[in-house]
């Protein structure tokens, strides 16, 4: 079946890495490591469909409440990937830029520096973008905007959508057409509230490491059937 209407911007909430590791008697690190590799594949599947703007929730502000060991493990994996020359080469090959979205002050300096280096080295690419949400929370994003708007306006009548958008941590991310969440969880958990007002939602029962290109195709076929009225 031909997919005529593809989302311009797609988001993935890659849930289920820990459960997958537990089911396969592997460590959490193995689960997360496979999850990161799966996202790299996912981003290239999107390129093959002509979907050039992706948002991925890599680490939420709420995830800091997990054990120190788990948090440090995940950060170590992200640092390893950021320093992997083969990964950087793939970004260059696909002419894809990495943009970091979130409160970077919450990240360890070595991780922040490693990710920032990739962000800078790929910043020349404008047509294909991976928005990596790390140390990101939806409420935190809105609060950041509200505080900055309050300190920059003198009259309430100056406040509008464009002004609030300007001061979001996620101000470079456009409105999201399709959100995919894996592992059977059916909620957004505060995922980019400003950009998801009219997003189409697709929930997959697959744990993230088991997600395939065929599963993405199923999500896109479902999206293709949706009638997006935007309140009309």
Please pick, among 30, 52, 63, 83, the residue that the annotation labels catalytic.
63
State in Å, rounded, how far the first CA of the chain is from the last one.
28
Q: CA geometry: angle at 9 spanning 209 and 105, to 5°? A: 75
The Cα–Cα gap between 114 and 120 comes to 10
Q: Determine whether 217 is an active site residue.
A: no
| 110 flagged as catalytic | no
> What is the Cα–Cα distance from 115 to 45, expressed in whole angstroms?
22
The neighbour count for residue 56, using CB atoms within 10 Å, is 19
Q: How far is CA 219 from CA 47, 150, 188, 229, in A?
A: 15, 40, 17, 19
C-alpha distances out from residue 189 to 67, 137, 192, Å: 19, 9, 9
Active site residues: 15, 63
């Amino acid at each position: 079946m031909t997919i005529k209407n593809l989302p311009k911007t797609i988001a993935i909430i890659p849930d289920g890495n820990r459960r997958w590791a537990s089911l396969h008697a592997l460590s959490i690190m193995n689960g997360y490591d496979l999850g990161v590799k799966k996202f790299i594949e996912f981003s290239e599947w999107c390129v093959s469909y002509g979907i050039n703007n992706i948002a991925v929730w890599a680490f939420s502000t709420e995830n800091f409440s997990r054990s120190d060991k788990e948090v440090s493990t995940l950060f170590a994996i992200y640092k390893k990937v950021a320093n992997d020359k083969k990964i950087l080469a793939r970004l260059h090959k696909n002419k894809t830029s990495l943009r970091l979205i979130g409160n970077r002050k919450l990240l360890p300096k070595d991780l922040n520096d490693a990710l920032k280096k990739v962000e800078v080295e790929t910043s020349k690419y404008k047509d294909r973008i991976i928005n990596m949400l790390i140390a990101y929370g939806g409420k935190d994003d809105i609060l950041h905007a509200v505080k900055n708007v309050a300190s920059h306006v003198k009259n309430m009548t100056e406040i509008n959508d464009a002004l609030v958008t300007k001061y979001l941590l996620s101000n470079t991310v456009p409105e999201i057409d399709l959100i995919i969440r894996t592992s059977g969880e059916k909620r957004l958990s505060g995922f980019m509230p400003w950009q998801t007002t009219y997003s189409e939602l697709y929930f997959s029962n697959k744990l993230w490491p088991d997600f395939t290109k065929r599963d993405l195709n199923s999500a896109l076929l479902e999206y293709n059937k949706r009638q997006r009225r935007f309140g009309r």
